[in-house]
Structure 1
Amino acid sequence: MFLLLSLCMFGLLLRGEAQSRASLWKENDRSGRCQYTFTVPSPAESSCPQMSGPEVEGLKARLTMLEVLVARLSGGETQLPGGRQGPGARAQTELQETLNQAVGEKNLLQGEKERLEREVEGLQRRMEEMRIETERLRNRPCPPQTPVVPPSQPLQDRGPKRPAAGSNPMSHLMTRPNRQGDSSSLRDSAWQYGAPGFQELKAEVTEVPAPDSNDDDTGCGVLVSVLEPVTHRKADNIAGKYGVWMQDPEAVSPYGPNMVWRIDAIGTEVRQLFGYEDMEQLSKGFPSKVLLLPELVESTGAALFRGSLYYQRRRSRTLIRYDLASETIAARRDLPHAGFHGQFPYSWGGYTDIDLAVDQKGLWAVYSTSKAKGAIVISQLDPHSLEVKKSWETNIRKNSVANSFMICGRLYTVASYAAPETIINYMYDTETSQGKTVAIPFRNKYGYNSMIDYNLAQRKLFAWDNFHIISYDLRLGRQQAN
């Protein structure tokens, strides 16, 4: 009896423990109907050998719903009952259409922007030309007025009256148009009544220099025209966006007169000087000599003369004469009061505060000072010691012009470094200490001309235009007597 009671009590305990761990599940099946599931853990088995029944079905239903949700979130092509597209596909289609429309509008706006930029450039060129023409007209002296001999009898301005007896019967028909084309109220007062005769006609004649006839050994003359640019080489890398190239007009051994030298001016460590045997080797890009300069180079204002390279030391007003034969510094000297490292550059920038040049008269420095308030100062230098021999102060601001060069002791400035069709707009003669505006057409073929120098060896202009090494042929007029 006691044993039976014990077994009953043990069964009740097991039943109570099983009931405490029992659970009731309520969920929709795959067809959408509500289904109740009552689960009780097994008192004897710790794990089942395999899963089956409603738990597996519920897990499959959850996985199916998760797959649909992931497909919607990723924009996949989900098909709803009846062959309709899911909301993810419709959203993707609408986004693609909106993107295509935005790209089209962007392309249209970009085209309109480019057109407006071209129009702005054209207007800027026209404004520059009008400014130069206005300046030229303002500086041109008025022509002398020739006194007019009064007629013996004044002409009548109004009314077709008959002339008096003995007068010229055609005088009332003699009119001339004014500058606006209106001939109604102007009559030539030089015509007279009385006995017919001759009247001297005078006209103001402007003398135009003839082309260069090489009357002297120097080849000096006034610049008449600059011909189309000729391209010799394009730089290989970004370091050659702008630079300087030159020839020595009085070459010294061991380098011959055909030797061409080049410096790429991009970077903070500009000190390499490349030498080429001739122009052909330059165009092929094969240097025969590479020199490492002892001091860093500032900008594109270097020059060659009598076996020495002249250049500005970086971040200073110090000028250096580097002897090519000995590969050493032969002289150094500060250019008095000269601006440097962006104080008084040309309009394109590039730390072009000091620009060295060589022509028939020798070695020159083009720069500015605080005393000159940014106006161009020209100094003639001693090629051996770099001392200033004489200086001239012009009335043109250095940062208002793109570049300059010296020919026969005359400074010429270029109006723009970027405009394809610009002009040489100013000339200053150091011999007469007089300057004047000019308008000689000049072309920037590649749109970023950072160096222009007169090359005495070939009597051409050498230039560096946006990675391109180019030259210009010149025409000089005869040297005019003062």
Structure 2
Amino acid sequence: MFFLFLLCMCGLLLRGNAQDRASLWRGNDRTGRCQYTFTVPSPMEATCPQVGGPEVEGLKTRLSVLEALMSQLSGKDLQPRGGHQGVSARPQPELQEALNRAVGERNLLQGEKERLERELETLKFRMEEMRRETERLRSRPCLTQNPVVAPSSTQQDRARGRPAAGSNQMSHLMTRPNRQGDSSNLRDSAWQYGAQSFQEVKAEVTEVPAPDGTVDNTGCSEVISVGEPVTHRKADNIAGKYGVWMQDPEAVSPYGPNMLWRIDTVGTEIRQLYGYDDMEQLSKGFPSKVLLLPEPLESTGATMYRGSLYYQRRLSRTLIRYDLAAEHVAARRELPHAGFHGQFPYSWGGYTDIDLSVDEKGLWAIYSTSKAQGAIVISKLDPHSLEVKKSWETSIRKASVANSFMICGKLYTVASYAARDTTINHVYDTGTSQGKAVSIPFKNKYGYNSMIDYSLAQRKLFAWDNFHLVSYDLRLGRQQAN
């Protein structure tokens, strides 16, 4: 019995000491990580305490803030949880206005993008046309290539119809007559033995027959040569880099037959028309008359005829006849389907879509249409009403030539506006509705020719070459009897 009593007393003592003794305790902190602490265990504690109330309150606060932000974005007047009244939604009209501005700017950018894409497609189409034209010109042979047979002696050369060695081949060529429309007789058979590049140069030279007793500048025939450019005046400022100058072949009072007119065409509102009593006053730069056109002019395609200035109105296909004596618009008419403002210009650009010209046959318009797909169209106009009397569609691409002019009802085109030595490369006869390639030497003395027109009053070419007003003498073939 004593032993059992002693054992019970020891158990009670050990139990009391265990309640007062510090022990290691493991639990979770606020972040969920395990934490070890020393503590006195409680007889009522069965497990580690869980996350307490402060964390839940923090989550409620964050949720309230998120709800407030959502109410601002959606435009709803919501109150955050927990009764917080400090956060309120921004007024809805301000957000709607900002959204409308953003949508409007997006629509503007989309429209600009579509416009640029259309312009890009137009440029691609024009570049493809120019590429095809270049390939066609490159593939066209200059001469018919025959098998090369080396000459063995002077007698063989003579037997074949070639000049003997040391003789003048050019004189042998120039004595040959030139039948109209047939240039095959101008090609010397001896050239087949030369290098290809030499043959091309020779072929270009021989397209123009030598001047002889058949020249008659008073008739109405085909151009056979163009003289050296003669400079009359240089423009004073940048507005005169491009321009047009002209003379009325049938002047009307109060202006005399020697009166010359000039327009500088660099600018957006081209209205000034300067008049000079004669060539001397033009060279000195002393105008006797300055007229202000009622409507602005576009590009360098204007002309003068029977007391009126004919020109294209800016940014339109409308033609205007301006009476110089009365100083008012006498007639206006749209040129049907004509391209304008850069749709079908010459190769140098300058919005040269419509080019007006006067010759022995009357008033002409040189232009193109969408139907013609960039090919030159020639229209005969009524000088009083500007009505189209008759039209001809050529096979000449307007963008492939630098400029053109009319003489005796024939259209002539110039190959380059910048090359110092270029050619008149095409002629189209409205009388026969036939065209052909030619090669008449032409010089751009100052390297940027923006206007070439026939002056019926002086039977010369007038041109505007990089600030300079120049003229060219012409040689025409003798008029053929009908």
Task: Compute the TM-score of the two structures, normalised by the length of structure 1.
Answer: 0.59
Tell me: CA distance 1:130–1:421, structure 2 relative to 1, closer, same or farther (3 Å): farther
Partner amino acid, structure 2, of 1:206: N
Report the Cα distance in structure 1 between the residues aligned to 2:357 and 2:147, rounded to whole angstroms: 50
Contact 1:367 1:376 in 2 (8 A): yes
**Aligned equivalent of 2:4:** none
**Aligned equivalent of 1:477:** 477
Contact 1:210 1:477 in 2 (8 A): no
Q: Structure 2: which 5+ residue stretches go unaligned?
A: 1-132, 161-174, 180-208
Q: Deviations over 1:74-122 (max 9, x none)?
A: xxxxxxxxxxxxxxxxxxxxxxxxxxxxxxxxxxxxxxxxxxxxxxxxx
- Secondary structure in structure 1 of the residue aligned to 2:228: strand
Tell me: CA distance 1:134–1:229, structure 2 relative to 1, closer, same or farther (3 Å): farther
Report the Cα distance in structure 1 between the residues aligned to 2:293 and 2:213, rounded to whole angstroms: 41
**Aligned equivalent of 2:410:** 410
- Secondary structure in structure 1 of the residue aligned to 2:236: coil
Shift of 1:444: 0.3
**Aligned equivalent of 1:394:** 394
**Aligned equivalent of 1:235:** 235
Q: Deviations over 1:440-481 (max 9, x none)?
A: 000000000000000000000000000000000010001235
Aligned residue among 161, 178, 190 for 1:206: 178
Q: Deviations over 1:22-74 (max 9, x none)?
A: xxxxxxxxxxxxxxxxxxxxxxxxxxxxxxxxxxxxxxxxxxxxxxxxxxxxx
Contact 2:216 2:479 in 1 (8 A): no
Shift of 1:181: 1.5
Shift of 1:221: 1.3
- Secondary structure in structure 1 of the residue aligned to 2:150: coil
Aligned residue among 155, 160, 181 for 2:150: 181
Report the Cα distance in structure 1 between the residues aligned to 2:413 and 2:139, rounded to whole angstroms: 18
Contact 1:136 1:437 in 2 (8 A): no
Report the Cα distance in structure 2 between the residues aligned to 1:410 and 1:136, rounded to whole angstroms: 26
**Aligned equivalent of 1:64:** none
Contact 2:216 2:477 in 1 (8 A): no
Contact 1:211 1:475 in 2 (8 A): no
**Aligned equivalent of 2:112:** none
Contact 1:210 1:478 in 2 (8 A): no
**Aligned equivalent of 1:326:** 326
Contact 2:216 2:476 in 1 (8 A): no
**Aligned equivalent of 2:271:** 271
Matches for 1:69-218 after TM superposition, within 5 Å: 135=140, 137=142, 179-181=148-150, 206-207=178-179, 210=212, 213-214=215-216
**Aligned equivalent of 2:98:** none
Partner amino acid, structure 2, of 1:236: D
- Secondary structure in structure 2 of the residue aligned to 1:263: strand
Is 1:287 equivalent to 2:259 in the alignment?
A: no
Matches for 1:283-432 after TM superposition, within 5 Å: 283-432=283-432
Q: Deviations over 1:273-324 (max 9, x none)?
A: 0000000000000000000000100000000000000000000000000000
Tell me: CA distance 1:258–1:135, structure 2 relative to 1, closer, same or farther (3 Å): farther
Partner amino acid, structure 2, of 1:336: P
Shift of 1:340: 0.1
Report the Cα distance in structure 1 between the residues aligned to 2:462 and 2:439, rounded to whole angstroms: 20
Contact 1:421 1:442 in 2 (8 A): yes
Contact 2:347 2:398 in 1 (8 A): yes
**Aligned equivalent of 2:115:** none
Partner amino acid, structure 1, of 2:277: E
Report the Cα distance in structure 2 between the residues aligned to 1:453 and 1:133, rounded to whole angstroms: 29
- Secondary structure in structure 1 of the residue aligned to 2:297: coil
**Aligned equivalent of 1:221:** 221
* Bigger proportion of residues as helix: 2
Partner amino acid, structure 2, of 1:322: Y
Contact 1:132 1:425 in 2 (8 A): no
Tell me: CA distance 1:329–1:443, structure 2 relative to 1, closer, same or farther (3 Å): same
**Aligned equivalent of 1:434:** 434
Tell me: CA distance 1:457–1:324, structure 2 relative to 1, closer, same or farther (3 Å): same
Measured on the aligned residues, the alpha-carbon RMSD in Å equals 2.9
Partner amino acid, structure 1, of 2:452: I
Contact 2:215 2:475 in 1 (8 A): no
- Secondary structure in structure 2 of the residue aligned to 1:473: strand
Report the Cα distance in structure 2 between the residues aligned to 1:448 and 1:392, rounded to whole angstroms: 29
Q: Structure 1: which 5+ residue stretches go unaligned?
A: 1-127, 143-176, 192-202
Tell me: CA distance 1:376–1:181, structure 2 relative to 1, closer, same or farther (3 Å): same
Tell me: CA distance 1:396–1:129, structure 2 relative to 1, closer, same or farther (3 Å): closer
Partner amino acid, structure 2, of 1:264: D
**Aligned equivalent of 1:445:** 445
Q: Deviations over 1:245-266 (max 9, x none)?
A: 0000000000000000000000
Contact 2:357 2:453 in 1 (8 A): yes
Tell me: CA distance 1:437–1:133, structure 2 relative to 1, closer, same or farther (3 Å): farther
**Aligned equivalent of 2:167:** none
**Aligned equivalent of 1:460:** 460
Report the Cα distance in structure 2 between the residues aligned to 1:258 and 1:135, rounded to whole angstroms: 46
- Secondary structure in structure 2 of the residue aligned to 1:399: helix
Partner amino acid, structure 2, of 1:425: N
Partner amino acid, structure 1, of 2:178: T
Report the Cα distance in structure 1 between the residues aligned to 2:327 and 2:306, rounded to whole angstroms: 14
Find runs of 4+ consecutive structure 1 residues off by over 3 angstroms: 128-138, 177-180, 203-215
Partner amino acid, structure 2, of 1:459: R
Contact 2:221 2:408 in 1 (8 A): yes
Partner amino acid, structure 1, of 2:448: Y
Report the Cα distance in structure 1 between the residues aligned to 2:266 and 2:176, rounded to whole angstroms: 52
Shift of 1:439: 0.2
Task: Compute the TM-score of the two structures, normalised by the length of structure 2.
Answer: 0.59
Report the Cα distance in structure 2 between the residues aligned to 1:478 and 1:253, rounded to whole angstroms: 34
Report the Cα distance in structure 2 between the residues aligned to 1:228 and 1:435, rounded to whole angstroms: 26
Shift of 1:131: 7.8
- Secondary structure in structure 1 of the residue aligned to 2:281: helix
Shift of 1:136: 7.5
Number of positions where the alignment pairs a residue of Structure 1 with one of Structure 2: 303
Contact 1:375 1:394 in 2 (8 A): yes
Report the Cα distance in structure 2 between the residues aligned to 1:131 and 1:228, rounded to whole angstroms: 31
Matches for 1:32-71 after TM superposition, within 5 Å: none
Report the Cα distance in structure 1 between the residues aligned to 2:263 and 2:317, rounded to whole angstroms: 19
Report the Cα distance in structure 1 between the residues aligned to 2:213 and 2:176, rounded to whole angstroms: 22
**Aligned equivalent of 2:29:** none
